[in-house]
Amino acid sequence: MREIIIGSDLKEMSRLAAAKFVEIAARSVRDNGRFTVALSGGLTPQSLYFLLAAEPCRSEHFWKQTLFFFGDERFVPPDSVQSNFRMANDSLLTPLGIPLAHIVRWETELGRPEEIAADYENRIAMLFTNERSEDGFKTFPRFDLILLGLGADGHTASLFPHSPALQETKRIAVTNRIEASNEYRFTLTFPVINNATNVMFLVSGDSKSETLRDVIEGKDRADDLPAQAVSLLAGKLFWIVDQAAAGLLTKI
Ligand code: 6PG
Protein backbone atom coordinates (compact mmCIF):
# COMPACT_ATOMS: atom_id res chain seq x y z
CA MET A 1 0.00 0.00 0.00
CA ARG A 2 1.40 3.40 -1.00
CA GLU A 3 0.01 6.84 -0.19
CA ILE A 4 1.28 10.22 -1.41
CA ILE A 5 0.49 13.12 0.93
CA ILE A 6 1.24 16.63 -0.36
CA GLY A 7 1.65 19.73 1.79
CA SER A 8 1.75 23.23 0.39
CA ASP A 9 5.24 23.81 1.78
CA LEU A 10 7.78 22.27 4.21
CA LYS A 11 5.89 23.59 7.23
CA GLU A 12 2.55 22.09 6.11
CA MET A 13 4.21 18.86 4.99
CA SER A 14 5.90 18.53 8.39
CA ARG A 15 2.54 19.10 10.10
CA LEU A 16 0.99 16.31 8.04
CA ALA A 17 3.97 14.07 8.83
CA ALA A 18 3.65 14.78 12.56
CA ALA A 19 -0.03 13.78 12.48
CA LYS A 20 0.82 10.49 10.72
CA PHE A 21 3.76 9.85 13.10
CA VAL A 22 1.48 10.31 16.15
CA GLU A 23 -1.18 8.04 14.63
CA ILE A 24 1.35 5.26 13.97
CA ALA A 25 3.04 5.62 17.37
CA ALA A 26 -0.21 5.51 19.32
CA ARG A 27 -1.40 2.45 17.38
CA SER A 28 1.94 0.67 17.88
CA VAL A 29 1.86 1.17 21.67
CA ARG A 30 -1.79 0.13 21.81
CA ASP A 31 -1.19 -3.03 19.76
CA ASN A 32 2.37 -4.01 20.79
CA GLY A 33 3.09 -2.18 24.03
CA ARG A 34 5.98 -0.24 22.44
CA PHE A 35 6.82 1.95 19.42
CA THR A 36 10.04 1.33 17.53
CA VAL A 37 11.07 4.10 15.14
CA ALA A 38 14.22 4.57 13.03
CA LEU A 39 14.88 8.28 12.52
CA SER A 40 16.23 9.79 9.33
CA GLY A 41 19.08 12.26 9.04
CA GLY A 42 19.64 15.12 6.65
CA LEU A 43 17.86 18.47 6.90
CA THR A 44 14.26 17.77 5.86
CA PRO A 45 13.09 15.87 8.98
CA GLN A 46 14.30 18.60 11.36
CA SER A 47 11.03 20.55 10.96
CA LEU A 48 9.11 17.39 11.87
CA TYR A 49 11.32 16.78 14.92
CA PHE A 50 10.73 20.32 16.19
CA LEU A 51 6.95 19.81 15.83
CA LEU A 52 7.07 16.48 17.69
CA ALA A 53 9.04 18.06 20.52
CA ALA A 54 6.51 20.89 20.90
CA GLU A 55 2.91 20.96 22.16
CA PRO A 56 0.59 19.23 21.52
CA CYS A 57 2.76 16.31 20.31
CA ARG A 58 5.17 16.41 23.27
CA SER A 59 2.34 15.57 25.68
CA GLU A 60 1.52 12.30 23.93
CA HIS A 61 1.77 9.27 26.24
CA PHE A 62 3.50 6.95 23.74
CA TRP A 63 6.90 8.66 24.22
CA LYS A 64 7.44 6.63 27.40
CA GLN A 65 7.21 3.39 25.36
CA THR A 66 9.18 4.63 22.34
CA LEU A 67 12.55 3.16 21.28
CA PHE A 68 14.54 5.38 18.93
CA PHE A 69 16.95 4.02 16.32
CA PHE A 70 18.72 5.62 13.34
CA GLY A 71 18.23 4.51 9.75
CA ASP A 72 21.73 5.61 8.92
CA GLU A 73 24.71 7.58 10.20
CA ARG A 74 27.86 9.22 9.01
CA PHE A 75 31.33 8.09 10.15
CA VAL A 76 31.68 11.04 12.51
CA PRO A 77 31.62 11.47 16.32
CA PRO A 78 28.15 11.77 17.91
CA ASP A 79 28.78 15.46 18.72
CA SER A 80 29.77 16.34 15.13
CA VAL A 81 27.57 18.84 13.28
CA GLN A 82 27.36 16.19 10.53
CA SER A 83 25.98 13.53 12.90
CA ASN A 84 22.39 12.40 12.31
CA PHE A 85 22.26 11.45 15.98
CA ARG A 86 23.28 14.98 17.02
CA MET A 87 20.63 16.61 14.79
CA ALA A 88 17.85 14.40 16.20
CA ASN A 89 19.20 14.63 19.74
CA ASP A 90 19.22 18.44 19.64
CA SER A 91 15.83 18.84 17.90
CA LEU A 92 13.82 15.96 19.38
CA LEU A 93 15.36 13.57 21.92
CA THR A 94 16.79 16.03 24.45
CA PRO A 95 13.78 18.40 24.29
CA LEU A 96 11.49 15.40 24.96
CA GLY A 97 13.71 14.17 27.80
CA ILE A 98 14.08 10.72 26.22
CA PRO A 99 16.19 8.48 28.51
CA LEU A 100 19.47 7.24 27.00
CA ALA A 101 18.28 3.65 27.47
CA HIS A 102 15.59 4.34 24.86
CA ILE A 103 18.04 5.67 22.27
CA VAL A 104 19.90 3.10 20.16
CA ARG A 105 22.48 4.99 18.11
CA TRP A 106 25.38 3.90 15.91
CA GLU A 107 28.38 4.11 18.26
CA THR A 108 30.70 5.66 15.70
CA GLU A 109 33.39 6.24 18.30
CA LEU A 110 33.89 2.46 18.66
CA GLY A 111 36.62 2.09 16.03
CA ARG A 112 36.63 0.43 12.59
CA PRO A 113 33.50 0.75 10.38
CA GLU A 114 32.85 -3.00 10.36
CA GLU A 115 32.97 -3.13 14.18
CA ILE A 116 30.56 -0.21 14.48
CA ALA A 117 28.08 -1.84 12.08
CA ALA A 118 28.33 -5.29 13.73
CA ASP A 119 27.83 -3.76 17.19
CA TYR A 120 24.76 -1.82 16.05
CA GLU A 121 23.36 -4.88 14.32
CA ASN A 122 23.78 -7.00 17.48
CA ARG A 123 22.01 -4.43 19.64
CA ILE A 124 19.09 -4.24 17.21
CA ALA A 125 18.87 -8.04 16.91
CA MET A 126 18.65 -8.38 20.71
CA LEU A 127 15.80 -5.87 20.91
CA PHE A 128 13.89 -7.66 18.13
CA THR A 129 15.03 -11.23 19.00
CA ASN A 130 16.09 -12.02 15.42
CA GLU A 131 17.08 -15.51 14.29
CA ARG A 132 20.65 -15.70 13.00
CA SER A 133 21.99 -17.75 10.12
CA GLU A 134 25.63 -18.74 9.58
CA ASP A 135 26.45 -15.51 7.76
CA GLY A 136 23.75 -13.11 8.87
CA PHE A 137 20.09 -13.35 9.77
CA LYS A 138 17.11 -15.50 8.77
CA THR A 139 14.58 -13.06 10.23
CA PHE A 140 14.70 -9.29 10.25
CA PRO A 141 13.51 -6.61 12.69
CA ARG A 142 10.07 -5.24 11.94
CA PHE A 143 10.21 -1.54 12.86
CA ASP A 144 6.86 0.13 13.49
CA LEU A 145 8.11 3.14 11.53
CA ILE A 146 11.19 3.97 9.47
CA LEU A 147 11.66 7.59 8.38
CA LEU A 148 13.57 8.08 5.14
CA GLY A 149 14.78 11.00 3.05
CA LEU A 150 15.53 11.16 -0.66
CA GLY A 151 18.77 12.48 -2.07
CA ALA A 152 18.80 14.23 -5.46
CA ASP A 153 20.84 11.24 -6.70
CA GLY A 154 18.09 8.85 -5.62
CA HIS A 155 19.79 7.57 -2.46
CA THR A 156 17.89 6.90 0.73
CA ALA A 157 19.32 6.29 4.18
CA SER A 158 22.97 5.68 3.22
CA LEU A 159 22.05 3.37 0.35
CA PHE A 160 23.73 5.25 -2.49
CA PRO A 161 23.63 4.45 -6.21
CA HIS A 162 25.85 1.51 -7.21
CA SER A 163 27.14 1.12 -3.63
CA PRO A 164 27.89 -2.35 -2.16
CA ALA A 165 25.10 -2.24 0.49
CA LEU A 166 22.41 -2.22 -2.21
CA GLN A 167 22.99 -5.94 -2.72
CA GLU A 168 22.94 -6.90 0.98
CA THR A 169 20.32 -9.58 1.74
CA LYS A 170 21.46 -11.17 5.03
CA ARG A 171 22.59 -8.34 7.29
CA ILE A 172 20.55 -5.88 9.38
CA ALA A 173 23.04 -3.03 9.54
CA VAL A 174 26.19 -2.51 7.52
CA THR A 175 28.89 -0.04 6.68
CA ASN A 176 28.77 1.24 3.12
CA ARG A 177 31.62 2.69 1.08
CA ILE A 178 30.48 5.79 -0.85
CA GLU A 179 32.96 6.28 -3.71
CA ALA A 180 31.46 9.60 -4.87
CA SER A 181 32.22 11.29 -1.54
CA ASN A 182 35.13 8.99 -0.57
CA GLU A 183 33.61 8.17 2.83
CA TYR A 184 32.24 5.31 4.91
CA ARG A 185 28.63 5.54 6.03
CA PHE A 186 26.37 3.28 8.09
CA THR A 187 22.92 2.11 7.06
CA LEU A 188 20.06 -0.25 7.73
CA THR A 189 19.65 -2.63 4.81
CA PHE A 190 16.76 -3.14 2.40
CA PRO A 191 15.65 -6.42 4.10
CA VAL A 192 15.05 -4.33 7.24
CA ILE A 193 13.48 -1.33 5.51
CA ASN A 194 11.15 -3.54 3.45
CA ASN A 195 10.10 -5.49 6.56
CA ALA A 196 8.83 -2.39 8.35
CA THR A 197 5.16 -1.93 9.25
CA ASN A 198 5.35 1.68 8.06
CA VAL A 199 7.89 3.66 6.05
CA MET A 200 7.58 7.42 5.67
CA PHE A 201 9.61 9.31 3.06
CA LEU A 202 9.94 13.05 3.70
CA VAL A 203 10.85 15.00 0.55
CA SER A 204 10.92 18.77 0.17
CA GLY A 205 12.01 21.29 -2.46
CA ASP A 206 12.08 21.60 -6.24
CA SER A 207 15.65 20.28 -6.27
CA LYS A 208 14.09 16.85 -5.61
CA SER A 209 11.20 17.10 -8.11
CA GLU A 210 12.90 15.29 -11.03
CA THR A 211 14.25 12.55 -8.76
CA LEU A 212 10.88 12.12 -7.03
CA ARG A 213 9.14 11.78 -10.40
CA ASP A 214 11.73 9.28 -11.64
CA VAL A 215 11.58 7.22 -8.43
CA ILE A 216 7.78 7.10 -8.23
CA GLU A 217 6.74 7.21 -11.89
CA GLY A 218 9.86 6.26 -13.86
CA LYS A 219 11.05 2.87 -15.07
CA ASP A 220 12.63 0.56 -12.52
CA ARG A 221 16.37 1.21 -12.21
CA ALA A 222 16.99 0.76 -8.51
CA ASP A 223 20.78 0.56 -8.87
CA ASP A 224 20.70 4.14 -10.20
CA LEU A 225 17.79 5.19 -7.95
CA PRO A 226 18.06 3.10 -4.74
CA ALA A 227 14.88 4.62 -3.24
CA GLN A 228 12.98 2.57 -5.86
CA ALA A 229 14.05 -0.59 -3.97
CA VAL A 230 11.86 0.43 -1.00
CA SER A 231 8.95 -1.95 -1.53
CA LEU A 232 7.32 -3.11 1.69
CA LEU A 233 6.58 -6.82 2.13
CA ALA A 234 3.58 -6.19 4.38
CA GLY A 235 3.52 -2.56 5.33
CA LYS A 236 2.38 0.93 4.39
CA LEU A 237 4.60 3.31 2.41
CA PHE A 238 3.91 7.02 2.81
CA TRP A 239 5.46 9.71 0.63
CA ILE A 240 4.97 12.98 2.50
CA VAL A 241 6.17 15.75 0.21
CA ASP A 242 5.68 19.45 -0.45
CA GLN A 243 4.26 21.03 -3.62
CA ALA A 244 7.74 21.99 -4.83
CA ALA A 245 9.00 18.40 -4.72
CA ALA A 246 5.74 17.07 -6.21
CA GLY A 247 5.75 19.56 -9.08
CA LEU A 248 6.55 17.02 -11.83
CA LEU A 249 4.35 14.15 -10.63
CA THR A 250 1.59 13.26 -13.09
CA LYS A 251 -0.16 10.31 -11.42
CA ILE A 252 -1.49 11.81 -8.17
C1 6PG B 1 21.68 11.46 5.61
C2 6PG B 1 20.31 10.94 5.32
C3 6PG B 1 20.08 10.97 3.84
C4 6PG B 1 19.08 12.10 3.64
C5 6PG B 1 19.00 12.51 2.20
C6 6PG B 1 18.10 13.75 2.05
O7 6PG B 1 22.42 10.84 6.38
O8 6PG B 1 21.95 12.56 5.09
O9 6PG B 1 19.97 9.82 5.87
O10 6PG B 1 19.59 9.80 3.28
O11 6PG B 1 17.81 11.66 4.10
O12 6PG B 1 20.32 12.83 1.76
O13 6PG B 1 18.69 14.77 2.82
P14 6PG B 1 17.95 16.19 2.98
O15 6PG B 1 16.72 15.94 3.78
O16 6PG B 1 18.96 17.04 3.73
O17 6PG B 1 17.65 16.69 1.58
Q: What is the DSSP string of 184-222?
A: EEEEE-HHHHTT-SEEEEEE-SGGGHHHHHHHHHS---T
Helix (H, G, I), strand (E, B) or coil at 248: coil
Q: State the pLDDT at residue 252.
A: 78
Q: State the pLDDT at residue 173.
A: 98
Identify the helix (H) or strand (E) that includes residue 132: strand 132-133
Identify the helix (H) or strand (E) that includes residue 152: none
Residue 34 CB neighbour total at 10 angstroms:
16
DSSP code for 41: -
98 has pLDDT over 90:
yes
If you measure from the C-alpha of residue 132 to the centroid of ligand 1, how many angstroms do you get, rounded to a whole number? 30
Confidence of residue 139 (pLDDT cuts 50, 70, 90): very high
Q: What percent of the chain has pLDDT over 70?
A: 100
Instruction: Quote the pTM value.
Output: 0.98
CA distance 201 to 72: 14
144 closest CA partner among 6, 244, 11, 26: 26
Using the atom order of ligand 1, give the atom closest to the CA of residue 73. 7
β-pairing verdict for 35-39 and 66-70 = parallel
69 has pLDDT over 90:
yes
Cα atoms in the 13 Å half-sphere on the side-chain side of 169: 1
Confidence of residue 251 (pLDDT cuts 50, 70, 90): confident
- For the Cβ of 42 lying below 6 angstroms from any atom of ligand 1, the answer is yes
β-pairing verdict for 183-188 and 72-74 = antiparallel
Segment 34-40 shows an average pLDDT of: 98
CA distance 189 to 213: 23
Using the atom order of ligand 1, give the atom closest to the CA of residue 155. 10
Confidence of residue 129 (pLDDT cuts 50, 70, 90): confident
Q: Which amino acid is at 37?
A: V
If you measure from the C-alpha of residue 43 to the centroid of ligand 1, how many angstroms do you get, rounded to a whole number? 7
Confidence of residue 73 (pLDDT cuts 50, 70, 90): very high
133 has pLDDT over 90:
no
Segment 70-92 shows an average pLDDT of: 98
Handedness of CA 73, 149, 44, 12 (dihedral sign): negative
Using the atom order of ligand 1, give the atom closest to the CA of residue 159. 10
Q: What is the pLDDT of residues 143-179, one digit of tens each?
A: 999 999 999 999 999 999 999 999 999 999 999 999 9
Confidence of residue 131 (pLDDT cuts 50, 70, 90): confident
- For the Cβ of 43 lying below 6 angstroms from any atom of ligand 1, the answer is yes
Chain-centroid distance, C-alpha 124: 15
Task: Tell me the H-state helices in 33-106.
Answer: 45-52, 84-88, 94-96
Dihedral angle over CA of 103, 107, 109, 114, nearest 10:
-170
Helix (H, G, I), strand (E, B) or coil at 105: coil
- For the Cβ of 44 lying below 6 angstroms from any atom of ligand 1, the answer is yes
134 has pLDDT over 90:
no
191 closest CA partner among 143, 140, 238: 140
